[in-house]
């Protein structure tokens, strides 16, 4: 039940997904730099993040907190595969990929995450927010556990509802339906303060 980071822990195949706008790719470097703008001072500063350290912290939350928390496991049992989060994790490794826009597209067209089997692609800006990354991984693992990605399905919120039971209630967003939700921010800068 390891989290393998493509490009850092080794070279792993990238899944072929049905998107004209974005795809999975390996991480190029273990360190990434983000422009962060303070909402208080309005100043922008560059912040470096260690991909492996941040992903490891998020994965530790998933495996040692959420997967051992009764209400979280009970919720996962209600999903289509009827397995607890702990059982889903015990089935094998998860490979983490970097989501990137395809030629002719831009970063605003990349969702926060995408799941293809046991491969999870993330928008790399999530690495600047470890708590949000941890909760995003739980959302994506709910898809691995059988939560639908069909936004027209009556259970379209199943993956997002996992957050309420898995120690991530503050990250719950009722507008996150299914797998391919494009961020409507207009700006890819992260904000703090």
Convert the pLDDT of each residue in 10-24 to its tens digit. 999 999 998 999 999
Q: Which domain holds residue 87?
A: 3-192
pLDDT at 176: 65
b/e sequence 109-123, b meaning 16+ C-beta within 10 Å:
bbbbbbbbeebbbbb
How much is the pLDDT for 190?
Answer: 35
SS3 186: coil
Q: Are 93 and 2 in contact, with CB atoms under 8 Å apart? A: yes
Instruction: Render pLDDT for 107-117 as a digit per residue (tens, 0 to 9).
Output: 989 999 999 99
Positions in the chain whose pLDDT score sits under 70? 176-193
CB 193 within 8 A of CB 40: yes
Contact 47, 137 (CB under 8 A): no
Which two tokens mark 41?
Answer: 């001072």
Q: What are the residues facing 37 on neighbouring strands?
A: 44, 191
> Number of structural domains, the chain?
1
């Amino acid at each position: 039940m390891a989290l393998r980071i493509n490009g850092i822990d080794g070279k792993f195949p990238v899944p072929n997904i049905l998107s004209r706008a974005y795809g999975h790719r390996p991480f190029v470097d273990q360190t990434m730099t983000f422009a962060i703008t303070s909402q208080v001072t309005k100043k922008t500063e560059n912040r470096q993040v260690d991909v492996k350290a941040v992903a490891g912290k998020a994965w530790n939350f998933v495996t040692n907190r959420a997967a051992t928390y009764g209400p979280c496991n009970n919720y996962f049992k209600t999903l289509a595969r009827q397995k607890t989060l702990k059982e889903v994790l015990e089935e094998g490794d998860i490979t983490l990929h970097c989501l990137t826009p395809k030629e002719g597209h831009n970063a605003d067209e990349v969702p926060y995450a995408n799941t293809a089997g046991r491969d999870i692609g993330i928008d790399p800006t999530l690495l600047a927010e470890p708590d949000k990354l941890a909760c995003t991984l739980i959302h994506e693992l709910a898809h691995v556990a059988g939560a639908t990605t069909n936004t027209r399905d009556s259970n379209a919120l199943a993956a997002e509802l996992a957050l309420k039971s898995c120690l991530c209630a503050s990250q719950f967003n009722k507008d996150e339906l299914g797998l391919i939700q494009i961020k409507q921010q207009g700006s890819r800068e992260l904000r703090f303060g």
